Amino acid sequence: MSTATTSDDEEFDPAVPAADGGSPPERKPRYKRRKVAIFFAYCGVGYQGMQKNPGAKTIEGDLEEALFHAGAVPEQDRGQPRRYDWARSARTDKGVSAVGQVISGRFYTDPPGFIDRMNSNLSPQIRIFGYKRTTASFNAKKFCDKRRYVYLIPVFALDPSAHPDRETVLASMGSGNELVKCVECSERGRKVEGVMGKRSFDSKNERNGASSDSGILSNTKNSPLHSVENGDDASYPCSETEKKLESVTPQEENDEATDMNGAKGDDKDTLATKKTEFSYGDLEKDKFNRILKYYEGTHNFHNFTTRIKAEDPSAKRYIISFAADTTVNVEGIEFVKCEVVGQSFMLHQIRKMIGLAVAIMRNCSPESLIQTAFRKDVNINVPMAPEVGLYLDECFFTSYNQKWEDHEELSMKDYAGEAEDFKMKHIYTHIASTEHKEGVMGLWLHSLNYRNYPDLAFTEHEKTVDSKSDEGANMKNGTEIGSCEKTVNDNTTAVGDDVARRHVNKADELDIITGEIGISANAETA
């Protein structure tokens, strides 16, 4: 592909002499291309991401057409962004929004009114805030020091008792602290596997009684996962729990639903109080921030993306900060504002970091799993949070601004008011309305279990492999060798280490080991 660029002094729309030989028409002014950085925002709903992709509706595709129709790009360069040095400061995935996105290039910004011409050729989902002159060598991608993303996660997602999965509901039957089929999802007509039953809403006791490092949500021995892994009926187990479900008649089930969904007077008020009991208080904030802090620093994030191996140098990324200190209420839903700042991010990286952090907050996994996921010799399937809550907040050009102090500062300071208005009108309302209508986060939480993500208990499996190998080696060596204790210990260690290495080095063996000994790990931990 040719990378030739047109001259800066090229006339944008030169006048042509009159055909009849008379005096030529009035000559139009000559405009020069100038290197600029354009600041804009967009709501990612309906788009297949930022980067242009043939056959897909993308933000860049719409921007290129708007630049052409606004007169910023001549006809001969239409559809060829390399000819005008196009560069983006960050890429966003499908459905992800942005408030402080930046592109750079050589454009015709004259005559005055360039921003208005651009916005008139774009949908309301995309808003151009302004542009600033830059040096001729400026590149929005290469000169961007760091990027800040924000993920809005509903507060209820951090509550271990909210939107339980079917395994947890089944295992809770007969425990005196029964869980119920998700009331929120049932009210919206969404079919979620579960049962109706009584439930203790003392979430405080529930949180205190469940250790964040336990990694076990329920008695796995009685869960569907137990039957699936042991080759039984893959649907659901025939257990005491199932018998209890069968004993619930349709009438009783309807009565339960009436009590919860159609409660009147004091009962309805009580239900409303119970639903909102969990809050993002100091204890929850401290725990969540402690979990997010594990991501800070330079780590190998090969388990937090796709199609990148651990040996690939690009898997190493530097996270400057990751915190969730504030909440925001949008359309009646309280969200926790998770802000992450890093040099650069890979595909799905932030959503997977959030997904694992939420799993830990809900006691689905131990905190140590984050450190385990950073290891090169470990392959883990990390849950990925929905895309709807993520948006690019700002791109920073600190080094450029310090080096070129005589040029305009490249930042969002001049557009802070417009950006905030766009964020509240388009992005925040979209996130909240989507949760109201579709319950995206709630449905995702229902899938957060060991059946879909067996690696959430990876650390426990690994410990079991070591212990089983050690026990087997001790028994064998003790019988054959007798009193040679030193040799037995050495052989035991060697066998155990070898099994552990094979366990963590091969992703396909992980599935086999999980099926064979995963139940032992869960049963011992529980």
At residue 288, the 3 state secondary structure works out as helix
* Greater pLDDT, 388 or 13: 388
Taking residues 58-67, what's their average pLDDT? 96
**In the chain, what are the domain boundaries?**
34-143, 151-156+279-390+441-452, 160-275, 457-525
Average pLDDT over the chain, rounded to an integer: 74
pLDDT digit string (tens) for 301-324? Answer: 999 999 899 999 999 999 999 999
Integer Cα distance of 361 and 160 in angstroms = 7
Whether the Cβ atoms of residue 63 and residue 103 lie closer than 8 Å to each other:
yes
- Can 34-143 and 151-156+279-390+441-452 be said to share one CATH topology? yes
Q: Is the pLDDT of residue 337 over 80?
A: yes
Contacts of 159 (CB under 8 A, 6+ apart): 203, 278, 362
Region at 174 (left for phi over 0; alpha for psi -120 to 50; beta for the rest) = left
Instruction: Verify whether residue 266 is a known catalytic residue.
Output: no
CATH topology of domain 34-143: Alpha-Beta Plaits (3.30.70)
Taking residues 333-362, what's their average pLDDT? 97
In three-state form (DSSP H/G/I as H, E/B as E, the rest C), the secondary structure along 39-50 is EEEECCCCCCCC
* Greater pLDDT, 271 or 472: 472
Taking residues 379-400, what's their average pLDDT? 96
Sign of CA dihedral 276, 282, 284, 285: positive
Supply the pLDDT for residue 23: 56
CA 173 to chain CA centroid, nearest Å: 32
Supply the pLDDT for residue 26: 62
Q: Is the pLDDT of residue 85 over 90?
A: yes
Supply the pLDDT for residue 490: 43
Q: Is the pLDDT of residue 161 over 60?
A: yes
pTM: 0.69
Integer Cα distance of 54 and 59 in angstroms = 12
First-last CA distance in the chain: 61
Q: Is 42 annotated as a binding residue?
A: no
Q: Is the pLDDT of residue 15 over 60?
A: no
pLDDT band, residue 257 (cuts 50/70/90): very low
In our burial notation (b when 16+ CB lie closer than 10 A, e otherwise), range 159-168 reads bbbbbbbbbb
CATH topology of domain 151-156+279-390+441-452: Alpha-Beta Plaits (3.30.70)
DSSP track, 206-267: HHHHS-TTS---S-GGGSHHHHHHTTS-SS---SHHHHHHHTS-HHHHHHHHHHHHS--THH
CA 516 to chain CA centroid, nearest Å: 31
Q: Which of 62, 77, 85, 93 is catalytic?
A: 93
pLDDT band, residue 194 (cuts 50/70/90): very low
User: Which range among 63-72, 223-232, 290-299, 382-391 shows the weakest confidence by mean pLDDT?
Assistant: 223-232
* Greater pLDDT, 443 or 188: 443
Q: Count the Cβ atoms, other than its own, within 10 Å of residue 380.
A: 23
